[in-house]
Structure 1
Amino acid sequence: MTVYSKIIGTGSYLPARRVSNDELAAELAAKGIETSDEWISSRSGISARYYAAADQNSSDLAVEAAQRALEAAGKSATDIDMVIVASSTPDFQGSFPSTACIVQRKLGMTNHSAAFDVQAVCSGFVYAVATADAFIKAGMHKTVLVIGSEVFSRILNFEDRTTCVLFGDGAGAVVMSASQEPGILAAKLHADGTHSDILSIPPSPAGSPASGGFLHMDGQAVFKLAVTVLEEVATEVLDAAQMAPSDVDWLIPHQANIRIMKSTAKKLGLPLERMVVTVDEHGNTSAASIPLALDLAVRDGRIKAGDNILMEGVGGGFTWGAVLARM
């Protein structure tokens, strides 16, 4: 009997503090940095983002999203036999234990389930789903909790208006389970380390803390590469599943920039009405962006059982990938 993996529950969490463009512009103005709602929204499509409280780490956001996904799946934490957390902002920057192990502890999981982190920046959730899919299909694990969680506000340089206005914090999660029905239809992952310098946290000066660096991005280079590879990997994953773009009910791209997202939909011939958009309210939440958007669309009734959803991400590394799933 063929074993498939299927998403059986989704969940998400946003911190309490919502920061509008106007509020952020006022805070930056106090530092002598000029920006505005119009400047931010016209370039990115972002109107607001959420920031974690000082005492909230990635694991805290992850646990909130995980609990909601578990409830939606009708599962308890002890039903999970593997935890995968995708994050570029783990609880312990440049150190250990993994955020997945901390999430395991905070969820009260005492069944010794496997737990580890995945680091592929904004492609992290797609990488994690593909990894869970492979473990389930191989018969090694049956029920996997996959989480994307970020506190990007901690690594932003608030004196650089080209990057600090783009990112936010949040977490999204899915429960994946072994199934007799097809769920994950195809997945493709890629990376090109020759572009590692266009989106990164440069090494901290010698003697400074490992977590002391700030995010650096060559926006034009990232944009150019993203629009190319996202179309390519979407086509690749559709070909692998022997499906056409017209078979896709919902496109859920990484929520980085509305112009990149619209370009991808246009190249695939998909109407914008079939693309889930949350970048306007969430900003770029890196590995959390796709599961946040997925959960929103599931809970508001847009995504229904049997729908085909195409999830794709691109991030620092340079990494990219796509997953085609039937809900």
Structure 2
Amino acid sequence: MRLLLAPMEGLLDYYLREIITSVGGIDFCVSEFIRVNNTLLPSRRFYRTVPELRNGCMTTSGVPVRVQILGSDPICMAENAAKVASLGAVGIDINFGCPAPTVNRNRGGAALLKEPQLMYEIVRAVRAAVPKSISVTAKMRLGYETPDTAVLCAEALSGGGAEEIVVHARTKVDGYKPPAYWEWIAKIKQSVRIPVIANGEIWSHEDALRCQEISGCIDLMLGRGMISNPALALMIRGERNHSLSWHEVIRLLEKFYALMKENRTINNPEGRMKQWLNYLRREYIEADQNFNLLKKLTDDQEIMKQLLNSSTVPDLITK
């Protein structure tokens, strides 16, 4: 079983990848997408989104990071894939799943699920442009409005040379609303000969087991579940039987804050801490209790001070 950390635009960036992978249980990550339009991007664009490129394309915990790119022009995508490969990427992932309206209006992400032939051409061009030692993978949803072409899209990716596919078990129109339709992943898995990784609505060890049973996939990609419960991967592996304590979570938040302040590339560390805390509310009563107070604060140091104070009281029972 491999457990992957999902790309989450605007949330799961370099800083949070560093913190989450330090907990353990993750085999590799996929970066948030780098948008490719009609130009060859400068090296600094790739380094800014994936600073791990300067560290063998791994987090400091030694977890590899695949670089995700998004675009609709096969030639331009191939040129940029070759560029990031030259910078030391260990793998290149192609985004066919982003549901953001601004991305879709520009013929990117999930919008391409309406064009399986173009999906094939993009993957084929990227695969041809990078050394065979560098993996080329793809992430897709079940479709744009309906899952009727899910198998066709997966076959296009496989035929183009993708080495494996992550399938988010919802359509673009579904967004992130439950449920996830894992049974459709099973249909995809039966239609292609490459590994298929299941993604969507995996919040617990029990969810992981049900997803594996219904989808037929052993490998899983974890997104919001890992942000809400940083020990989720270890729990799925059977290496822990409970979440981190609130004290341990506070230590992670403290490291997260210090990393953002040290690198000085985040303009609103207070916003990032509130964003993560909002996800933690699903798992921790303490996060829920602190959130309403902290969301009114605008100074990052005051927010951190309040969080540290909250760790001096005994842990409450997690939800």
Same fold per superposition (TM over 0.5): no
When normalised by structure 1's length, the TM-score is 0.28
Q: When you count helix as a share of all residues, which structure comes out higher? A: 2
Larger relative strand fraction:
1
TM (norm. structure 2) is: 0.28
Larger Rg belongs to: 2
User: Higher relative contact order by CA 8 Å / sep ≥ 6: 1 or 2?
Assistant: 1
